[in-house]
Amino acid sequence: DSGVTQTPKHLITATGQRVTLRCSPRSGDLSVYWYQQSLDQGLQFLIQYYNGEERAKGNILERFSAQQFPDLHSELNLSSLELGDSALYFCASSVGVLAGGRDTQYFGPGTRLTVL
Amino acid sequence: KNEVEQSPQNLTAQEGEFITINCSYSVGISALHWLQQHPGGGIVSLFMLSSGKKKHGRLIATINIQEKHSSLHITASHPRDSAVYICAVFNFGNEKLTFGTGTRLTIIP
């Protein structure tokens, strides 16, 4: 158990809908990362937050948005869903102290999103 | 060409064999991570390397910054090592992790 929790575990929805994925980091971790893993693209970095502020942005679509709240939990909002958004969405957390990607990241169990 | 290339894509070996998985990258990096993804989907971070070599139990990871290459070795492999092993590099310029496509390892008893 990494200490990172993600809800829900599974989500089935229809095209055009909007969903919210939730992540609670390990106790004491200030950084939260979101990743998408699809069958054809592999793992891709979406976005990182550090202590409530956006720190780095990856291949995140404009239909997607995220935020980190004062209690450090994070939410990833996916809107106008398309079939191609079906994927595993992972959240990870790290202490956030070391620069240059040297922090060890602890991954949550993932949310499997199916868009029908 | 992908920024991160792993080889082999698939590897099947007998229990007890010495395993090597390779990762080559084409960008300047400040750190390289090895991850393990279990058949159930969970991801565990195995190593973070910025230079040299690290060892944890039966796992050894090395990196050669000049050659832009890293290897993950497993000694005395066991069926429970069966998983997908993923290499990821941190590009200091754009502050993001880029992932390889993974190596699927199967250890046969």
Neighboring chain B residues of A43 at a CB cutoff of 8 Å: 86, 88, 99
Distance from chain centroid for Cα B102:
8
A interface test, pick of B95, B101, B103 with most A CB neighbours within 10 Å: B95
Mean pLDDT of all residues belonging to chain A:
93
Please report which confidence band the pLDDT of residue A5 belongs to, taking 50, 70 and 90 as the band edges: very high
In three-state secondary structure terms, B80 is helix
Neighboring chain B residues of A57 at a CB cutoff of 8 Å: 96
Using the predicted structure, report yes or no on whether residue B39 has a pLDDT greater than 90: no
Using the predicted structure, report yes or no on whether residue B96 has a pLDDT greater than 70: yes
pLDDT, tens digit, for every residue of B57-83? 999 999 999 999 999 999 999 999 999
A interface test, pick of B25, B97, B103, B104 with most A CB neighbours within 10 Å: B97
Q: Which residue has the higher pLDDT, A98 or B86?
A: B86
pLDDT of residue B1: 65
Distance separating alpha carbons of residues B23 and B12, to the nearest angstrom: 18
User: Per-residue pLDDT averaged across A26-51, rounded?
Assistant: 92
Chain A, 50-79: which have a CB under 8 Å from a chain B CB? 55-58
Query: What percent of chain A has pLDDT above 90?
Result: 84
Tokens at A38, concatenated: 């699809």
Please report which confidence band the pLDDT of residue A40 belongs to, taking 50, 70 and 90 as the band edges: confident
pLDDT of residue B93: 72
Distance separating alpha carbons of residues A40 and B74, to the nearest angstrom: 28
Using the predicted structure, report yes or no on whether residue A59 has a pLDDT greater than 90: no
Tokens at B76, concatenated: 């005395």
A&B contacts, CB < 8 Å: 62
Q: Which residue has the higher pLDDT, B67 or B40?
A: B67
pLDDT of residue A80: 97
Q: Which of B34, B35, B27 is nearest to B91 (CA)?
A: B27
User: Per-residue pLDDT averaged across A31-42, rounded?
Assistant: 91
User: Per-residue pLDDT averaged across B84-102, rounded?
Assistant: 88
User: Per-residue pLDDT averaged across A74-101, rounded?
Assistant: 91
A105 touches chain B (CB under 8 A): yes
First to last CA, chain A: 31
Number of residues in chain A: 116
Name beta bridge partners: A115.
A13
Using the predicted structure, report yes or no on whether residue A101 has a pLDDT greater than 90: no
